[in-house]
A and B are shown apart, each in its own frame.
Chain A
C-alpha cells in the first residue's frame, strides 16, 4: 500500500521525546495501526496528518498512556509508556499538555477555574499568583474578558482557545494538539497558529499537531507524517511533501476522493450491496 518509503528523520535517536516504534493496534479486531513508526524530536513541531478515521486521535491516546499498543513500543521521554507504573505515568503526563479535539472543558467550572484547575491540583501557589498566571494565559488566547463565563456560554472556537490556555498553564515540555484548527474563524486560526509557533520558538516547547488542514500546518511544521491505512505513507518537511511525486501525498494535498487513500470506510462492494437490498 505504501507507495513511498518513509524517509527517516535526520535527527539522532537520543533527542526523540516521543518514539512510536512498529506499533500495532486493533479495535474490536479491526486493525487501526499496523506497524506505525513516528518520532517526535525535541524542540520541533511535528505534524501528523491523515484522513478522518485513520486513528490520529487513537495515536494520541497511545502516547498519553490511555490505551496500550497490542505490539510494538511507545515511549515518552525515553521511557516506555506501557512499563510505567501509575505514579510515573501521572508524572509523565504532567510534562505534557494536551488540547482535545472538542475542548473537553469541565462544564461545572468557569473559564477561569478551568484554566486554574491543573494549577490548583498540582501546586500550592497562593491565590494572587494563580490569578496572574491564569489571566496571562487567557490573555494569550484573547479570552481574558471571558474569564467568568461558563463553558456552555462559549462558542466551539472559544472553548478550544480556553482549552489551549488550560493546556499551557503548567508550562509543559510537550504540547499535543488534536485538530486545533477545526471550526475556527480565520482570525482565531491565525492567532492559534502563531501561538503554536511562538511557544515553540520562544519557550522551546516540543509540539505534536494532529490535523488534516494541510496548508495551515505546512506553514509551521518542521516535520510531517502522513498516515493512511494504519501506517506512515510519507514523511518529511512540508516542502519535501509538497514536492513529492507520490500519488498518496498528491491525493491528500489536493483533496481528491479518488486515489490510493481510501475515502470510504471499509464496506462490501457497492453494487453488490445495492442489489442485495433490492432482493432482500
Chain B
C-alpha cells in the first residue's frame, strides 16, 4: 500500500513538473503569438461564444435564487434594504468567478482539450511541425490566451445578469424599494471587492486554460486517450477552481 501511494506521489510530482515546463514553453510561445491577434480573437470568440448562453442562463437563475434566499434571510432581521449589497457582494466575490469558471471548464475547457487532442491524434500537430510551423505558437498559445481573456469577460456578464436576476426577484416580486436596492449597493461596495473578483477570474482563466491546453496537447493520440484527457480537464479544473478560490479569498481578507 505504501509502495502504491509512493508511486502515486511520484507520478503526481512528475505530472506537476511536466505541466510547469509546458507552462514555461507556453508563455514563451505567447510572445510571438501576440503578433497574430486574429488567431487570438478567433479563440476568444470560440471560447466565449461557446459558453455565452449557459453563462447567461446560469447567471440569471443564480441571481434569482440569491434574491429569494437573501430576502428570506434579511427580512428576519428587518434588513431587506441590504439585499442589494448582499447580492452584489456574493456575486462579485464568490459566485460570479467560481460558477463561471466551473461552467467554462465544462463547456469551453473540454472543447479545447478534445480539439487539441484530436489534432494530435490525426497528426495535424506533427504536420505543422514538419511544415516548420510551431504548433505551440500556432495552436496552443492562441487558445491559452483566448481562454485567459474570455473567462473574465464571461464572469462580468455572469455578474451583471445575476444582479439583474436578484433585482427581478427582490424588487419586482418581493417589493424591496428599487432606489434603496441600487443606492445601498453603490455606496457599500469598495474597490477591493471588485479587485477580488477581477483577480479571481483572471487567475481562473489562466489556470483553466492551461489545464485544458496541456491535457489536449499531451493526450494519448487515440480516441480513448482524448476522452480520458477531456475527463481529466473537468476534474482538475473543478478542483483547482475551488482550491484557488479558498487561497485567494484568504489572501484578500
Contact = CB atoms under 8 A, between A and B. Distances in A.
Interface string B33-64: 00000000000000000000000000000000
A118 B131 contact: yes
Interface stretch (B121-129, B149-157, B243-251): B121-129
Interface in B100-152: 118-119, 122-124, 126-134, 138
Interface in A93-141: 93-94, 96, 98, 100, 102, 104-107, 117-118, 121-122
Q: How large is the interface on B (under 10, 10 to 19, 20 to 34, 35 or more residues)?
A: 10 to 19
Contacts of A98: 127, 130
Given A104-B126, A107-B124, A93 B119 contact: no
A100 B126 CA distance: 9
A90 B132 CA distance: 5
Contact of A96 (B118, B124, B130, B134): B130
A155 interface: no
Contacts of A90: 132, 134
A93 B124 contact: no
B132 A100 contact: no
Interface string B200-231: 00000000000000000000000000000000
A11 interface: no
A219 interface: no
A166 B130 CA distance: 12
Interface residues of A, number: 19
A102 B221 CA distance: 14
Contacts of B131: 93-94, 117-118, 121, 166
Nearest to B128: A106
A66 interface: yes
Contact of B127 (A94, A100, A121, A122): A100
A107 B122 contact: yes
A93 B138 CA distance: 17
B130 A106 contact: no
Nearest to A169: B131
A91 interface: yes
A206 interface: no
Contact of A106 (B127, B129, B132, B134): B127
Contacts of B126: 66, 100, 104
B132 A102 contact: no
A46 interface: no
Nearest to B133: A121
Contact of A104 (B122, B133, B138): B122
A75 interface: no
Nearest to A106: B124
Contacts of B127: 98, 100, 104-106
7 contacts: A64-B129, A91-B132, A93-B132, A102-B123, A104-B122, A107-B122, A118-B132
A-B pairs, 5 with minimum CB distance = A104-B127, A104-B123, A90-B132, A93-B132, A94-B132
Given A96-B130, A107-B119, 17 more contacts: A64-B129, A91-B132, A93-B129, A93-B130, A93-B132, A100-B123, A100-B127, A102-B123, A104-B124, A104-B127, A105-B124, A107-B118, A107-B122, A121-B131, A121-B132, A121-B138, A166-B131
Interface of B: 118-119, 122-124, 126-134, 138
